[in-house]
Structure 1
Amino acid sequence: RGPGVPGVELAVGGVSVDRAHLAAYDRVCGFRLTDRLPGTFPHVMGFPLTLRLMTAPDFPFPLIGLVHVGNRITVHRPITADETLDFTTYAENLRPHDRGRQVDVVLVGSVAGEKVWEGVSTYLGRERKPGGGDRSGRNEPPAGTSRWRVEPRVGTEYARVSGDHNPIHTSRLGARLFGFHRPIAHGMWSKARCLAALENRLPDAYTVEVAFKLPVPLPSTVSFALLPDGGFALHDSRGRPHLAGLVR
């Protein structure tokens, strides 16, 4: 493992949309079935490229055990299923964290040279540090707008449509190896499910940023809350936060 971020930018061109794949993704995440791509779908399209970056020997952390702590997506304009995208990815901003170090992995999607989409995923590489710990807070949760039952199949179904087959999401044994009593939902599924609930409210161009708090165990019941300032949140039945987000 290198001491810094890889000094490379990876690129792939001509990535087309498989409509059957898009429809399966829409169903798993709760989006309407249309030719317009959900804001989170290009993240899935570019995932093989970012995976290649993150599994390189000079990436600062091993992939297994890495924690996805935040994600910011900017949609510059609507993207439709008949468009072909080019992707680039690189890592930046390696910095300290209370529980280790974190790094940003940037993915940019373009159509004919025009940047139409950008995603920044923040990952935490956990390291033993004195005084580190969970500081997610226990503030009073907002009143829920709706409640969702998250079934165990969400882990395997989202793994199939996203390409993210981390066993903490699909296997009870795999989850236990990393300290979870049962599998947990993918953070990007949680974000996508929240965006699906906001689908009618989203403009053509927007930025949506989320912080992933506590994992969503499978199965569980979660409460979704829409906030007046453009924010939204996901909590468990005891009011503990899973996700905090903002659309602007």
Structure 2
Amino acid sequence: MAGPARVLTQSPSLVPLLAAGALRSPFKRPSAGADFPRTRLVLPGLRVDLARLAAYERVCGFPTGEDALPVTYPHVLGFPLAMGLMSGPDFPLPLLGLVHTSIEITRYRELAATGTYELSVRIDGLAPHRRGTEAAVVNELRVGEDVVWESVSTYLARHRTTGAAQEREPGRESGQGPGRESEREVHEPLPGVDEWRLAGDIGRRYAAASGDRNPIHLYPFTARLFGFKRAIAHGMWTAARCLAAHGTPQAVLVRAEFRAPVLLPGTVTYAANGERFELCGADRVHVSGGVYPLT
């Protein structure tokens, strides 16, 4: 259930939020039973920066110049608000090391790039995971009273758990909307459609367009500070790049699960068959998902 609303006059700056979240991270004690912020952040009268949108479209492979938002772009608009909640002292999971594990997007109609929207973000709940605790973050875009786009993202904080935690969908115990099906179903490998050679600067280009300047995505030396051999691609870039190649109808449900990091530079294979898509490396699946028209 959504808590009290706090209305913002502008989107918060990401850099101070990321810095504050990093400083608070060592003092967090993650637990699925911990309390979490119930406030819903609301940004009314939102208009899209068209130059920034064009940069996002170019780096993700979407067509440019159309009066339409890519299906993943509202996530970028809501990301600063989500960081405003997850970097705060009352959010129990440490921001450093938090892993975006999945996203489910529902777009109910085509969204004009020149439109005016109300954006809201809230924490939907915490859930035990076999590797720690997972949080669900809900992002909604409205025109008037109508929700025209919404998403549920899950973020995992890895930590020691006691016993075998039963995974569940965060915030879904009381019928708060449809749960997502796991994209880890066993199936035959999807046929390869295209091979993409990813440049080493993809993370920096996406960061400039999206504002997500997490150091693991920027340079090899900053990624090594967090245990990666090289910089890794943003999960939402990999999902957006796949959806740009796959295509989506105007009214659509999209699911994507981020299963393994994509090291930069690197070569990956985009695979698809019908509704399903994958982004694969030589020996692993990096992203698995599906595109389901709404009826």
Q: TM-score, normalised by structure 1?
A: 0.92
Which residue does the alignment assign to 2:14?
none
Determine if the alignment matches structure 1 residue 246 to structure 2 residue 278: no
Q: Read off the aligned partner of 2:279 and give its amino acid letter.
A: L
Which residue does the alignment assign to 1:211?
257
Q: Offset at 1:247?
A: 1.1
Which residue does the alignment assign to 2:271?
225
Which residue does the alignment assign to 2:208?
160
For residues 97-246 of structure 1, what are the structure 2 equivalents within 5 Å? 97-129=129-161, 141-199=189-247, 202-228=248-274, 230-236=275-281, 238-246=282-290
Determine if the alignment matches structure 1 residue 80 to structure 2 residue 112: yes
Q: Distance in 1 between matches of 2:189 and 2:224?
A: 28
1:138–1:77 distance in 2 versus 1, CA, 3 Å: closer
Which residue does the alignment assign to 1:12?
43
User: Number of residues paired by the alignment?
Assistant: 241
Q: Distance in 1 between matches of 2:287 and 2:162?
A: 26
Q: Read off the aligned partner of 1:47 and give its amino acid letter.
A: F
Which residue does the alignment assign to 1:30?
61
Q: Read off the aligned partner of 2:280 and give its amino acid letter.
A: H
Q: Distance in 1 between matches of 2:186 and 2:150?
A: 32
Q: Distance in 2 between matches of 1:161 and 1:212?
A: 21
SS at match of 2:192: coil
Q: Offset at 1:142?
A: 2.4
Q: Offset at 1:113?
A: 2.2
Q: Offset at 1:85?
A: 1.2
1:113–1:223 distance in 2 versus 1, CA, 3 Å: same
Q: Please, which runs of 5 or more residues in structure 1 have no aligned partner? A: none
SS at match of 1:239: coil
Q: After superposition, what is the alpha-carbon deviation per residue over 1:169-219, rounded to whole angstroms, capped at 9, x for unaligned?
A: 0022221122110000000000000110022xx221001011100100001
Contact 1:141 1:240 in 2 (8 A): no
RMSD across aligned C-alpha pairs, in angstroms? 1.9
Using the aligned pairs only, state the percent identity: 47
Q: Please, which runs of 5 or more residues in structure 2 have no aligned partner? A: 1-27, 165-183
SS at match of 1:118: strand
Contact 1:141 1:239 in 2 (8 A): no
Q: Distance in 1 between matches of 2:186 and 2:110?
A: 37
Q: After superposition, what is the alpha-carbon deviation per residue over 1:3-34, rounded to whole angstroms, capped at 9, x for unaligned?
A: 22212111111110111111111000000011
Q: TM-score, normalised by structure 2?
A: 0.78
Contact 2:117 2:142 in 1 (8 A): yes
Range 88-97 or range 67-76, more displaced: 88-97
Which residue does the alignment assign to 1:89?
121
1:171–1:7 distance in 2 versus 1, CA, 3 Å: same
Q: Offset at 1:138?
A: 9.8
Q: Distance in 1 between matches of 2:290 and 2:62?
A: 19
Q: Distance in 1 between matches of 2:38 and 2:186?
A: 39
Q: Distance in 2 between matches of 1:113 and 1:131?
A: 44
Q: Read off the aligned partner of 1:170 and give its amino acid letter.
A: L
Which residue does the alignment assign to 1:64?
96
Q: Read off the aligned partner of 1:5 and give its amino acid letter.
A: F
Q: Distance in 2 between matches of 1:139 and 1:75?
A: 27
Q: Distance in 2 between matches of 1:198 and 1:9?
A: 33
Q: Distance in 2 between matches of 1:155 and 1:208?
A: 23
Range 105-114 or range 136-145, more displaced: 136-145
